[in-house]
Amino acid sequence: MAKVEFSNAAEADLVEIDEFSVVRFGENVAEIYMQGFNAAFERLRDFPLAAPLRSEFGDGFRCFVHRQHRVFYTASGDSVLIVRILHHSRDARRALKGEAE
């Protein structure tokens, strides 16, 4: 089972997503949305290589979609690092620039 960790940027992304969701859709909807992320992160513990490699975003990046967001991560051995969690409308290349360095 892999250990899932979060970059500072990914943690900030989750806070921003949650705060926006509460304001826009209400606490109940925001909680359900965030529970979906948590379930996805739990699946990554068992299947860290499940998402395809997305080399166009940088070496070793993998990406999966959770509703309106893309989760970018790297996996190495028994470790998963969630790098960013970006709304599908965001320019992922720009947001990820420098994250692979």
User: Mean pLDDT throughout 78-95?
Assistant: 94
User: Mean pLDDT throughout 38-48?
Assistant: 96
Residue owning tokens 């965030």: 34
**DSSP H or E segment with residue 27:** helix 27-46
Among left, alpha and beta (phi > 0; psi -120 to 50; other), residue 39 is alpha
For 3-96, CATH number out of 3.40.366.10, 3.30.2310.20, 3.40.30.10, 3.40.50.720 equals 3.30.2310.20
User: Mean pLDDT throughout 53-78?
Assistant: 94
> How many other C-beta atoms lie within 10 A of the C-beta of residue 92?
18
Q: Give the pLDDT of residue 97.
A: 83
